[in-house]
Structure 1
Amino acid sequence: MEELFRIFQVDAKRAAEIKTTPDEPHIHDFDEMIIGVHGTLEHFIDFDNHTLNSPFISFIARGKFHRVVPHNLDDNYHLWAIRFMEDFLPGASFELTPTYHLSSGFELPRDLFFKRIVNTCEMLHFEMEQPTPNFAVVRDLLKALLTMSTAEQQKHAARHRGDINSQNSTYIAFLQILEENFRRDVGVDFYAEKLFMSTRNLNLICQSIIRKSVSEIIEDRKIAESKKLLTGTDKPISEIGYEIGYNDKSCFTNAFKKKNGITPSVFRKNMQKLLS
């Protein structure tokens, strides 16, 4: 089950290989965080091209067009890359997207905070190098890394906040309202009314930014929360379904299986086996 999480380093040799044979922009089915220790990275994300000089942190949510090209290659070139699937840390993308939506990466000082970030990467790498990694430890370290990076990005965004176009402003507002209400049995109309717009316009904005409909995003948030509860609690499946807005167990089970290909009970058993 190691494909749920991966951490690796990019040194000067690997960076040179990437630069000479760059990928075309592509879409990942995982979330990725890149920590730049030494060197420069040109980043193409959703048709926006920008360059980050180390030290830096960048987050690329799954489903985004993505391409990287390393620059300023020397013997000290060093990046950490961390990739994780939604099942490994349910809900992480929804928690990170409002923070990183307008700026997928930021530069920061080479200070004690950045040293803690690098130390956490080293601990994650060390644990994954063990013959039998403790994935419960890996999850906790990943949570700590994401919490630290998100707090720093929020401070960075507050210092460098510029003009936000209306579509981005609406999308962020939608995500904030969704976070407060996704457990309720409410549909697209509810969110459109909260944002004083038509369901059509809200759908157009979401399709433009994330290439998903409003109903898909709502469903994704519910399922992500259910995975967190299935992994972190021993609540009955019917109770979990009711808690996130499904009126009966069969509706929840069908929605979960349609999205993941397995039932909630099988998912819970798989995660218990992984984390035991």
Structure 2
Amino acid sequence: MKRHSSRGFTLIEILVSIAIIAILIGLLIPALSGARTTARQTAGLANQRSVAISFSQYADQYKSFPFRKKGEAPDGLPVPPDPDVMFVRWWPEGVVIGTTEHWHHAWMWPGIVSAFSAWPENYKTWVSPGMTTELPDFSFGGGDPSRLENVVSLRYSNSFVARPGLFKAGAAADNTLIASTQPHEVTFPSSKVMLWDAHLAYIRKTPRIEDGQYAHATPMAFADQHAEAKDPTKATRPVGNPLKSSAPVTLHDTPEGISGRDY
């Protein structure tokens, strides 16, 4: 009668198998990470288009892009507004915030367009994919006011809240150029960026910064409401803004403002 003995794996075979599995995992993880990044970038582009549409609705209603003058009171403000402060409604309902810095339109725009884009329904489109979509709590006694700027990822170009004449080499520091702009003034709608993701929360490694922007493909919406992922550092170099104390920033300080082109 024959006896059959079973042959087990040798130590070398086990080690080789482990090595092969490790290699496969090493190849698979970057691929999965890349797929996740691509999916989130796609979600970011959808967010950009959604907000661009709300801006278009605002422009149809008010005949200008989102804009708030200093000293202009939101409905229901219980006291007369300070003429040197820009006020907007914020979240939660009933909260109003103000700033003396006109260029804070860049992140305060939700308080201006909230009539078309209510916070509860739309907040998830205002933040970079990968960030929490829970509504912020800045009611009295809750939240940290210093974080106000970062509760919204999408930035609104300063070019849309001042006249084109301000964004020219040698322009004078003329406060009358702080004024609303209209859609018909955009000379190159498919080349002028209106909004972009300033956080890129889904990128694992923080990119380098140049001219105030990340050197990385960034979801952005253009004045014609189409969205693309483009590198802001490849855009037209910014021009100095005589009414800003900070350095010029790409996409914000586009030469000729809304009459210029970023790409």
Q: Per the shorter chain, which TM-score range?
A: under 0.3
Which fold has the larger relative contact order, with Cα–Cα distance below 8 Å and residues 6 or more apart in sequence?
Answer: 2
Q: Kindly name which structure, 1 or 2, has the bigger radius of gyration based on alpha carbons.
A: 2
Please report the TM-score for the alignment, with normalisation by the length of structure 1. Answer: 0.24
Structure in which a larger fraction of residues adopt helix: 1
